[in-house]
Structure 1
């Protein structure tokens, strides 16, 4: 029997530029996390909110937030994931980090920087399309704005789950919901979207819309609007493979090269 993957998504408020407060709050929210969870995912820039104050707020890969993720992964015996503002070799990255219970780390640097929010003026965009393996699931990690670019998301028959961690504003929630479903349908993949709630220091409102979408574009589980909560789902690799075998779309996709 092929592995199932049990995922928990944390929809929460974020305290602006206060990593210690955010880490403390997330630990409190995780008190009731199910013991069978394989992976827990936090929103984009979960330690700071979507701040551009890189000199003030960015941490190194051996900084306290990453160390906290390592301790949490080891203590709970699961994979912990979320994006952080990272300083490395004189550059700053919006880095989606996955930490395994044994201490191994993998990460993806956000490729599509949100120029309308001046993210491109403060951060360096990632250049590598990264795949993460958890159990039998091949995972394509993305960060927020990446969701709008279908060529970058195109399934080359090399992933089973797309995970997007975001700070996606309330006025564009319709696009968020539509694009999550579109990415699932066109790529015959599970899609997971994790978003924050509340209001940030720039006056931007977030309502959440955190959800799981199945490969047919149907929402499996969705969080309530404007509510802090953890939603969970168990994804079936067997069901995914049966669907792909019975409705063989991916082998007919166009070939292309992404530069």
Structure 2
């Protein structure tokens, strides 16, 4: 599976400008099976959902469908969505074969996200080209129990607006999630400054199941990370080092 992860700047609360920007980028990424965009890629990490949120079947979802069909890719990233009188930070997954979504479960209280958005309550695994993929958003990275591999995924994706001030935690936790879950991990973060004056350094990365980088973006600059992941290599490693067989059982409440 060929991955293209887009570390990018974002136009603050300007959906049309962001969609035009990503449309141009996607035209030039070359061969890819999966394209990963940052968290809230149409607006930046905004706590004004009453101004920026789209309906569940809104224009960004239609754009994702168009991109998937035109370029024969699966494409994913999160968007502010309004549904049933609630707002969600919704991670869309769209491919030519169909679509799914995951609503961010852990809301970043230090920015007041829990006051503006509702938490999703369903963990989401999608399957594409035989690869099982777990969808997660930004702050979810800090909660290893929630994203723990229960032998139900092969690739873990985090999309984020993770500030530069905590970049060490971002990189360290991504590595830990790859090692402990014996899984490929993609972490896609934005760069630049948002409308609140918060700076983002990116540090996007694609890691293998040993926590080693397969591709890594330079800090503070837009970049397209390209890498190929191998399900056969992952399965071979799990067979020779089956640590998952000694994992502790648990259930989420």
Aligned to 2:45: 50
Where does structure 2 lack aligned partners over 5 or more consecutive residues? none
Deviation at 1:133, TM superposition (A): 0.5
Alpha-carbon distance between aligned partners in 1 of 2:199 and 2:230, rounded to the nearest angstrom:
34
Alpha-carbon distance between aligned partners in 2 of 1:97 and 1:237, rounded to the nearest angstrom:
23
- Correspondence 1:199 to 2:193: yes
Aligned residues: 253
Aligned to 2:247: 253
Alpha-carbon distance between aligned partners in 2 of 1:212 and 1:79, rounded to the nearest angstrom:
17
- Correspondence 1:219 to 2:208: no
Q: Deviations over 1:83-133 (max 9, x none)?
A: 00000010000000011124x210000000000100000000010111011
Match of 1:162 among 156, 159, 165: 156
Deviation at 1:220, TM superposition (A): 1.2
TM, length-normalised to structure 1: 0.96
Aligned to 2:19: 23
| SS class of match (1:209) | coil
Aligned to 1:130: 124
Alpha-carbon distance between aligned partners in 1 of 2:113 and 2:18, rounded to the nearest angstrom:
22
| SS class of match (2:146) | helix
The equivalences for 1:1-259 within 5 A come to 5-35=1-31, 37-102=32-97, 104-259=98-253
Alpha-carbon distance between aligned partners in 1 of 2:57 and 2:10, rounded to the nearest angstrom:
22
Deviation at 1:31, TM superposition (A): 2.6
Structure 1 vs Structure 2 CA RMSD: 0.8
Alpha-carbon distance between aligned partners in 1 of 2:99 and 2:82, rounded to the nearest angstrom:
16
| SS class of match (2:187) | strand
Alpha-carbon distance between aligned partners in 1 of 2:64 and 2:18, rounded to the nearest angstrom:
12
Where does structure 1 lack aligned partners over 5 or more consecutive residues? none
Moved over 6 A (4+): none
Alpha-carbon distance between aligned partners in 1 of 2:132 and 2:43, rounded to the nearest angstrom:
29
| SS class of match (1:146) | helix
Alpha-carbon distance between aligned partners in 2 of 1:136 and 1:10, rounded to the nearest angstrom:
23
Deviation at 1:46, TM superposition (A): 0.2
| SS class of match (1:216) | coil
